[in-house]
């Protein structure tokens, strides 16, 4: 499990392109037949992916968590980005279609990612520390009823699909969902904001051969990352997180921190961006 420690805002402004990518961008998460995981100092969130091919794969055991098993003091959200598959929790199998989300609470020792029967499942996960147990639950993509927000004339008309949140699947601190766009819209999270009380992780997917220009950094000292399909951006509390693609894409967002209030944001007005 790779560890990620973050520079201060002042130090971030001195980083080269490659240094910025090394600190804030994760590539190569999805590896056939393997589980990969990265431990961050973003509220101690762990992000990773599992791609079982012929045999089931378990959650990683690593000294970084300081526990006997992965979910001893953690919770996890899993979103299947690939073909239909299943995740076993104890003796129960939870079928996951494309873009279905599974939440597993603290204390579950036996968790395995199962191969698919009609294609390759691609399980993306984010885990946060937890202090109390919440029940395992599934949010089906087909059941998400989300009204679009944004303005098509500003190319930011989108649907924010919330899976693990205060009014959906309950958790200790993890909040997770995914955003998708209406035709012709390419800007995400614009106007931008920061989260003084929470940190966030983005996974861009369904990018294809296109790219996303992701803006990050302090609102008046912005930096950027060129992001490809299934790459992850790590976003500290002081950084904005928004971007625009050269074509259609989706992204998974996940947050951890002091609260779970989705609207608890610190706006960064467009007129003040530099």
Triad 96, 93, 162: Cα angle to 5°: 35
pLDDT of residue 109: 94
Euclidean distance between CA atoms 37 and 86, whole angstroms: 19
Residue-by-residue pLDDT tens, the chain, 274 positions: 889 999 999 999 999 999 999 999 999 999 999 999 999 998 999 999 999 999 999 998 878 899 999 999 999 999 999 999 999 999 899 999 999 999 999 999 999 999 998 999 999 999 999 999 999 999 999 999 788 999 999 999 999 999 999 889 999 999 999 999 999 999 999 999 998 888 999 999 999 999 999 999 999 999 999 999 999 999 999 999 999 999 999 999 999 988 777 777 889 999 999 9
Euclidean distance between CA atoms 112 and 87, whole angstroms: 6
Both tokens of residue 20? 């910025």
pTM score, whole prediction: 0.95
pLDDT of residue 145: 79
pLDDT of residue 264: 78
Domains of the chain and CATH, by start: 2-14+25-141 (2.60.120.10), 144-272 (2.60.120.10)
Euclidean distance between CA atoms 249 and 88, whole angstroms: 29
Q: For strand 35-40 and strand 2-4, is the pairing parallel, antiparallel, or unpaired? A: parallel
Both tokens of residue 147? 């009204």
Dihedral in degrees, nearest 10, Cα atoms 102, 177, 253, 236: -90
CB of 107 closer than 8 Å to CB of 172: no
pLDDT of residue 19: 97
Q: For strand 175-181 and strand 85-89, is the pairing parallel, antiparallel, or unpaired? A: unpaired
Both tokens of residue 32? 């056939």
pLDDT of residue 112: 97
pLDDT of residue 61: 84
CB of 78 closer than 8 Å to CB of 104: yes
DSSP string, the chain: -EEE----HHHHTT--HHHHHHHHEE-----TT-EEEEEESSTT-EEEEE--SSS-EEPP--GGG-SSSTTSSEEEEEEE-SSSEEEEETTEEEEE-TT-EEEE-TT---EEEEPPSSS---EEEEEEE-SS----EEE-GGG-----BS-GGGT--EEEEEEESTTSB--SS-EEEEEEE-TT--EES-S-EE-SSEEEEEEEES-TT--EEEEEEETTEEEEEEE-TTEEEEE-TTS--EEEESS--EEEEEEEES---TT--EE--GGG--
Contacts of 213 (CB under 8 A, 6+ apart): 224, 225, 226, 227, 243, 244, 245
pLDDT of residue 198: 87
Triad 53, 59, 65: Cα angle to 5°: 150
């Amino acid at each position: 499990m790779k560890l990620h420690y973050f520079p201060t805002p002042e130090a971030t402004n001195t980083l080269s392109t490659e240094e910025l990518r090394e600190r804030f961008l994760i590539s190569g998460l999805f590896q056939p037949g393997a589980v990969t995981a990265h431990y961050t100092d973003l509220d101690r969130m762990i992000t990773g992916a599992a791609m079982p091919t012929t045999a089931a794969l378990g959650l990683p055991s690593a000294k970084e968590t300081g526990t006997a098993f992965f979910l001893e003091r953690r919770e996890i959200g899993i979103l299947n980005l690939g073909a239909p598959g299943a995740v076993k929790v104890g003796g129960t199998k939870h079928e996951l279609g494309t873009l279905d989300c599974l939440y597993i609470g603290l204390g579950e020792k036996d968790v395995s990612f199962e191969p698919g029967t009609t294609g390759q499942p691609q399980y993306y996960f984010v885990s946060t520390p937890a202090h109390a147990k919440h029940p395992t639950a599934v949010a089906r993509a087909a059941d998400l009823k989300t009204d679009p927000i944004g303005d098509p004339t500003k190319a930011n008309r989108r649907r924010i699909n919330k899976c693990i949140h205060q009014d959906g699947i309950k958790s200790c601190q993890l909040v997770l969902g995914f955003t998708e766009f209406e035709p012709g819209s390419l800007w995400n999270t614009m106007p931008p904001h920061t989260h003084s009380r929470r940190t966030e992780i983005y996974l861009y997917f369904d990018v294809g051969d296109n790219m996303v220009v992701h803006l990050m950094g302090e609102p008046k000292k912005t930096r950027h990352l060129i992001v490809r399909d299934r790459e992850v951006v790590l976003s500290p509390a002081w950084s904005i997180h928004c971007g625009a693609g050269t074509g259609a894409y989706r992204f998974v967002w996940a947050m951890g921190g002091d609260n779970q209030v989705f609207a608890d944001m610190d706006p960064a007005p467009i007129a003040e961006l530099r």
